[in-house]
Amino acid sequence: MGRDKGLMPFKGKPLIQYVIEQLMPAVKSIVLVANNQEYKDFGLEVIGDYIKDIGPAGGIYTALRHTDASCNFIVGCDMPFVTTAAVEFIIQSSVQSQITLPVYHQTIEPLFGIYTKECSTKWHELVQQNIVKLNDMITYFKLQKLNMDNNELFSANLFRNINTQHDFANALNK
């Protein structure tokens, strides 16, 4: 997009503000993984990527290395349609797996789910092997897939993320 997506104004506030507002009632604490210090304006802890320039794989690794929590809800900063109810559903449905992710219309959503701290070491090993595509990485873990096709809390719009100007324009019309 040529600029920091999470800080882009969307319907009157930064994209990430929508995510923060929906996470706050569902989780104990929020830590933002971002290399841009402007994120400190949200009054939350901000940490920079431990491994830069590998996209979401680096952000997830940073979050897992940094956290003291055994289970961590990971979500992209560019998903303005997430809901507290959907976050809570994933958290409550996570049982005895290293990663818990929703599957919507046969698509795994790796940027909306639970990652346990125990994934950290193996995650780092995968990065060192240059395996950084999330859909490839998650296959190395005990993965719980939750089919959300018939769950009224989930829709394609919930998983809509903003990657291009076209995505941004389409999202504004939702």
Count of positions (residues) in the chain: 174
pLDDT digits (tens, 9 = 90+) for 52-99: 999 999 999 999 999 999 999 999 998 999 999 999 999 999 999 999
Beta strands 9-10; 13-14: pairing state: antiparallel
Beta strands 143-147; 99-104: pairing state: parallel
Q: Whose CA is closest to 58, among 3, 111, 1, 21? A: 111
**In angstroms, what is the C-alpha Rg of the chain?**
15
Question: Count of alpha carbons within 13 Å of 71, Cβ hemisphere only?
Answer: 18
Distance CA 44, CA 65 (A): 18
How confident is the model at residue 171, as a pLDDT? 73
Confidence of residue 111 (pLDDT cuts 50, 70, 90): very high
Distance CA 143, CA 148 (A): 15
pLDDT digits (tens, 9 = 90+) for 23-52: 999 999 999 999 999 999 999 999 999 999
Query: pTM for the complete prediction?
Result: 0.93
**In angstroms, how far apart are the furthest CA atoms of the chain?**
42
How confident is the model at residue 2, as a pLDDT? 59
